[in-house]
Amino acid sequence: MPSLPPGYSIRRTQPRDFENVVDTLRILTTVGDISREQFEDIVTYWNSTTINFHGKQIHAYHPRVILDGSGRVIATGTVFLERKIIHEGGLVGHVEDIAVAKDQQGKQLGLILIQHLTALAHEHGCYKVILDCDEKNVGFYEKCGYRRAGVEMDHRL
């Protein structure tokens, strides 16, 4: 399993990570206008929403950032846990919004982040972890230990 470059670290996203997380996410998709206050509200929501699972209070959202040696956020991603009736009242992890800064490509940070989020979800009791991706990224996710499971469909107004 690959490991982070020396000096790099990974931790839960905090409300103070506004600029770097938003800038990193712009690589991935449309972020649009989001204020510092909105960002702080969302991260505070993520960090305070819990699920009671087999008598333990666990976080529903597990947003993570990777920091370089200078403490700058250079990658971000989230896994959130869905509470189901099926599979004996099981949990499913949903990996979302993975982005790595352009100048940090080639260090396997995407792979490390996916493996970290996947392990987190399983440690919290998920019977499976899922994600949706473009056809062109299937090979990357197979390297992360995922396999093709179905078709993602969407509905937009």
**Where does this chain bind a copy of itself (CB under 8 A)?**
21-22, 25, 28-34, 38-39, 41-42, 45-46, 49, 51-52, 60-61, 80, 82-89, 94, 96-97, 118, 122, 127-135, 138, 141-142, 144-157
Closest CA to 117 of 99, 102, 135, 104: 99
Minimum CB separation of residue 97 from a copy of itself in Å reads 6
Q: CA 70, CA 73: separation in Å to the nearest integer?
A: 9
Query: Packing angle between helix 18-25 and helix 36-48, nearest 10 degrees?
Result: 90
CB 89 within 8 A of CB 125: no
Minimum CB separation of residue 53 from a copy of itself in Å reads 9
Minimum CB separation of residue 8 from a copy of itself in Å reads 22
For a copy of itself, give the closer residue by CB, 5 or 90.
Answer: 90
